[in-house]
Structure 1
């Protein structure tokens, strides 16, 4: 008895799924910033970058300036976590700038 082999997904389908995922707000994006004179890269989901950019515009500062301020007050938390928490607290109305 001959068994049929399972077919792998087509390349075209996989490519369009990847393209759709790139537009998703949960896709991780890396930004390079200078904080306190040091270059660093931070990876966050796009939705958090959007929230941080909106916050920086509302506060009249650059994105790098906002990130530097959050960095200065983050304590032992890693920077990515501190940025996510800041964005969520702001979205929930717990931070006003």
Structure 2
């Protein structure tokens, strides 16, 4: 909502972000979310973390037409009930 308001504001200043700027920022944010999910310490980073990263990542990908990258694997993990890799589903989560 904030980004949408800023993008559509009638502001004639020279420091206004271009569509390309927004696209690059969205890609950086999507990459950071993926790194957060894949590099979280511990054997089970948790379903909450996975769900949060997926929710934010999918929204960024949709709004900015980004490649799904890590989101595909994360979606498979969510469907399998794991917080990590599909093959790493803990026995109690199957």
TM-score (norm. length: structure 2): 0.29
Q: Which has the higher contact order (CA 8 A, sep 6+)?
A: 2
- Name which one, 1 or 2, has greater alpha-carbon Rg: 1
Which is helix-richer, 1 or 2?
2
